[in-house]
Amino acid sequence: MSTLVDRWLALPPNLRGILWVGMSGVLFSLLNVFTLIPAQHLNSYVMAFLRYLAGTLILMPVILRIGLHRSLHSNRKGLHISRGMIHACGMFLWFAALPLTSLAEITALGFTGPIFVTIGAALFLGEDVRLRRWAAVLVGFGGAMIIIRPGFAEIGLGAICVLVSTPIFSASNLISKALARTDGAETIVIWQHLVIVLCAAPVALWFWQSPT
């Protein structure tokens, strides 16, 4: 095990980051598949709340291991709260789209996120975005237009919800990138879950359905 860890740490940081993102992409795809099933029977807002409540419960061993005070310690609490609230808005739109459109369309439209992240990274984080990345952004935008309106077909409400949620999620990702400069991954994830649970709880209670 230690040999594998040493080999992993020996990889260039950029390559490790790409591999982490690739693995997370596989997990998010599985999450989307399993989320689509209850979306046909359960209120979207209730499901969104339960998802992040379950995530918070799964995070409890991490919180207990490092301590509540240490896990929430940050000099940028306002930014954490703002990010959680922004992410909650995108989450509500995304879950509302689930029963209205196909999983393939939701996933494909979700891939427009890098377009907004690239633009935001250049404008707000001061990252150096070369011509090749801008070309990829333009190609991605063209692909999104094909997905949205193949043959100039009518755009459904589900697709609109996903499209609106995507730049919101991108804003959340940009804020998390800024937070990662000072705070650890555990702190960022724990703050996100706690804020989203608090934001989603009143809406979920209003539309409450007891899951079978």
Residue 152: per-residue pLDDT = 47
Q: What is the domain partition of the chain in residue ranges?
A: 1-39, 41-206
Residue 192: per-residue pLDDT = 94
Phi-psi region of 63 (alpha: psi -120 to 50; beta: other; left: phi over 0): alpha
pLDDT bin (cut points 50, 70, 90) of residue 2 is low
pLDDT bin (cut points 50, 70, 90) of residue 154 is low
User: What is the rounded average pLDDT for all residues in the chain?
Assistant: 82
Rounded distance between C-alpha atoms, residue 165 and residue 149, angstroms: 18
Rounded distance between C-alpha atoms, residue 96 and residue 98, angstroms: 6
**Tens digits of residue pLDDT in 15-73:** 888 888 888 878 887 887 787 778 778 888 888 899 899 999 999 998 888 888 888 88
Give the predicted TM-score (pTM) of the model. 0.80
Rounded distance between C-alpha atoms, residue 183 and residue 99, angstroms: 36
Residue 54: per-residue pLDDT = 92
Residue 196: per-residue pLDDT = 94
